Amino acid sequence: MYWLFNSSIGRKFIMSISGIFLILFLLFHMSMNLTLLFSEEAYDMICEFLGANWYAIAGTLVLAGGMVVHFAYATILTLQNRNARGSDKYLSSNKTQTEWAAKNMYVLGLIIVLGLIIHLWNFWYKMQFAEIIHSPDAVIKGSGLVKGLFSNPCYVIVYLVWLGALWFHLTHGVWSAFQTIGLNGKTWYPRLKVISNIIATLIVIGFAIIPVYFLIIKLMSYIL
């Protein structure tokens, strides 16, 4: 177990596993959001189910732990790469992997974290956290909160920029995670790149549909 925490390969492995865990959560969260397009009642039921219940709180703590581990190890590896390679802060071990996202993973990660903080403030803080502390202002029906926030063009633009950073981060991150856990070689390299792009695109489109949909409805209300 020593290599897992004290070697570069072990740290990359931990970061990859935590990253895959976070990707699975994104897919779940995206699926939950998409229910709002079909039924506000169903979405509100999910929000109530994921309120101040012990299993929802436990899940939130596990998710937060995964995020902290992923970011902490990303920071450690970035500092190691900076010391070893000078100005090249993030490079793949594969010499042909020179795309922009690969060189800027940590910066993209910082943008994602900042966007996540804004997102948590506008949703989690006003819903689950407010319910935990028994705030009279706790929002139980999340559909109204989502529709209100995504009717604001400024918030939608910030959200879409955040999703753009997420797309670039995922296209390289998913590929890198698969490589770290052992799927590599000339045969798998092009396949993993395609799979990574597909996963990243599905996640980003799935999240982007909601704000764009409600913003269009808001704008159409002004026109009509």
- Render pLDDT for 125-164 as a digit per residue (tens, 0 to 9): 988 888 888 888 888 788 999 998 998 999 999 999 999 9
**Vertex 108 angle, CA 102 and 110, to 5°:** 135
> Block means of pLDDT (10 residues each) for the chain, length 224 residues?
65 83 91 92 88 83 88 82 59 51 83 90 89 85 90 92 93 82 71 88 95 90 80
CA angle 61/77/73 to nearest 5° reads: 10
pLDDT at 157: 93
Instruction: Output the pLDDT for position 86.
Output: 53
pLDDT given for residue 93 in this prediction = 45
pLDDT above 90: percentage of residues in the chain: 31
Is residue 203 within 8 Å of residue 26, measured between CB atoms? yes
Give this prediction's pTM.
0.84
pLDDT digits (tens, 9 = 90+) for 40-64: 999 999 888 888 788 888 888 898 8
pLDDT at residue 183, as a whole number: 67
Burial 202-214 (b: 16+ CB within 10 A, else e): ebbebbbebbeeb
Q: How much is the pLDDT for 2?
A: 54
Structure tokens at 96: 């042909």
Report the distance separating Cα 77 and Cα 15, nearest Å: 9
Give the N- to C-terminal CA distance of the chain in Å, as an integer: 64
Domains of the chain and any CATH numbers: 2-223 (1.20.1300)
159, amino acid identity: Y
Tokens read off for 110: 């910082």
CB half-sphere exposure, 18, CA atoms < 13 A: 19
Alpha carbon distance 90, 104 (integer Å): 7
Q: How far apart are CA 77 and CA 67, in angstroms?
A: 15
pLDDT at 98: 47
Would you say 116 and 184 are in contact if contact means Cβ atoms under 8 Å apart?
A: no
What sign does the dihedral 201-202-203-207 (CA atoms) show? positive
Task: Write phi, then psi, for 141 (nearest 5 degrees).
Answer: -90, 100
